[in-house]
């Protein structure tokens, strides 16, 4: 029916849909802000002295300089002028495996994969724009999806490669999907952990209130400064609970984070201003979606922890329709959102199987 409308009527329909969309975004943003405010008041009422305690960790824990994980390196991108930090393992000249972390993580979330795949790959775990030791531009406009996609393309070229095996988790999975769509010649194989194709996500969230609630932080992050402030309360209690609580953390059968692992996260995100760049990734999201182009043309592996507290598993299977090549989906029933840290041995085995399977298929 919309195709038959005259241009003025069609413009009104588009404007009305846009108005409804942004009304939904900001209304839900307000709801999330109210809930956060109530939690803040509850915390102040119970432990006023502890609520505003914030310890800046001055020295990194030893695990961040573990030589078995690789070498700390930096590269400056010509177009943006930004300096990116990454940890690289494996010999130069081997095929590149590029790892993109999620939120609130950094290169260290790939520690198990850095050790595992360096025998056959040059494994590079990146700190995304705004994270860790990578430069963090001050304005949220610098974190639009176009900029994040261009970062990966430019980093690949700066490392001396024209293609790679691309692996992304969570928000890094979103970026990995988009790089594969925009620069398919640069991605030989795509592996995504616990994030659906972006088109599946945007369509699913509008039709399923349960996923809208689980993605409430996307809306909460649209506000200036308040989300960062909430993370600092009780010495980053929210950050710790994301990885350790029964609701959102790594499950009973998972590979729990050690006290030193938690301290590594606290060291990175307790630095002044360290949360603004990561949260800015979300602040431009609603102006960038939905996508115009959708198709994935390279072999793709999607790994999913069924106990993901933030992403409903139904989106994993729907993703299949957007992959126009070999697609393998594996759902791990006892795994959480933090899959590559939760079940590293199983994840590594599944990745090896997929990579070798694809190599064998090409030879045949």
Cα angle 282-347-183, degrees, rounded to a multiple of 5: 50
Q: Residue 105: which of 61, 170, 176 has the closest Cα?
A: 170
Our measurement of the distance from residue 183's CA atom to the centroid of its chain's CA atoms, rounded to an integer in Å, reads: 19
Q: Residue 269: which of 126, 82, 55, 40 has the closest Cα?
A: 55
3-state helix, strand, coil in the chain (%, to 5): 55, 15, 35
Our measurement of the distance from residue 190's CA atom to the centroid of its chain's CA atoms, rounded to an integer in Å, reads: 15
Catalytic residue IDs = 170, 282, 337
φ, ψ for residue 185 (rounded to 5)?
A: -70, -15
**Cα separation, 354 vs 330, whole angstroms:** 11
276's CB contacts (< 8 A; 6+ apart) are 130, 136, 138, 228
Beta-strand (E) ranges in the chain?
A: 71-76, 83-89, 96-100, 122-126, 164-169, 187-193, 300-305, 327-332
**Cα separation, 240 vs 237, whole angstroms:** 5
245's CB contacts (< 8 A; 6+ apart) are none
Tokens 């090549």 found at = 325
- Pairing between β-strand 187-193 and β-strand 83-89 as defined by DSSP bridges: unpaired
**Cα separation, 197 vs 174, whole angstroms:** 7
**Cα separation, 183 vs 291, whole angstroms:** 14
* Total count of residues recorded for the chain: 364
Helix (H, G, I), strand (E, B) or coil at 60: coil
């Amino acid at each position: 029916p919309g195709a038959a409308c005259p241009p003025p009527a069609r413009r009104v329909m588009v404007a009305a849909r846009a108005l409804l969309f942004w009304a939904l975004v900001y209304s839900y943003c307000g709801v999330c802000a109210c809930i956060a405010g109530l939690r803040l008041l509850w915390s102040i009422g119970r432990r006023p002295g502890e609520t505003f305690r914030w310890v800046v960790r001055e020295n990194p824990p030893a695990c961040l300089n573990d030589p078995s994980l690789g070498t700390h390196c930096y590269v400056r991108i010509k177009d943006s002028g930004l300096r990116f930090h990454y940890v690289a393992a494996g010999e130069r000249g081997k095929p590149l495996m590029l790892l993109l972390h999620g939120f609130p993580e950094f290169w260290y979330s790939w520690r198990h994969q850095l050790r595992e795949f360096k025998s056959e790959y040059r494994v590079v775990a990146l700190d995304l724009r705004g994270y860790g030791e990578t430069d963090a531009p001050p304005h949220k406009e610098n974190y639009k999806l176009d900029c994040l996609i261009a970062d990966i393309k430019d980093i690949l070229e700066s490392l001396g490669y024209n293609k790679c095996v691309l692996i992304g988790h969570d928000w890094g999975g979103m970026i990995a999907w988009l790089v594969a769509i925009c620069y398919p010649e640069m991605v030989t194989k795509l592996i995504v952990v616990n994030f659906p194709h972006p088109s599946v996500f945007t369509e699913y969230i509008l039709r399923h209130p349960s996923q809208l609630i689980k993605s409430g932080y996307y809306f909460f992050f649209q506000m200036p400064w308040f989300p960062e402030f909430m993370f600092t309360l009780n010495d980053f209690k929210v950050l710790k609970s994301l990885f350790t609580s029964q609701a959102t953390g790594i499950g009973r059968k998972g590979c729990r984070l050690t006290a030193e692992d938690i301290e590594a996260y606290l060291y990175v995100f307790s630095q002044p201003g360290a949360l603004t760049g990561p949260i800015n990734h979300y602040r431009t999201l609603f102006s960038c979606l939905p996508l115009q182009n959708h198709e994935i043309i390279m072999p793709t592996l999607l790994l999913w922890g069924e106990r993901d507290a933030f992403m409903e598993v139904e989106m994993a299977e729907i993703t299949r329709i957007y992959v126009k090549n070999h697609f393998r989906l594996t759902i791990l029933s006892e795994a959480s959102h933090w899959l590559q840290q939760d079940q590293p041995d199983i994840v590594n085995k599944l990745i090896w199987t997929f990579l070798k399977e694809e190599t064998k298929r090409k030879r045949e």
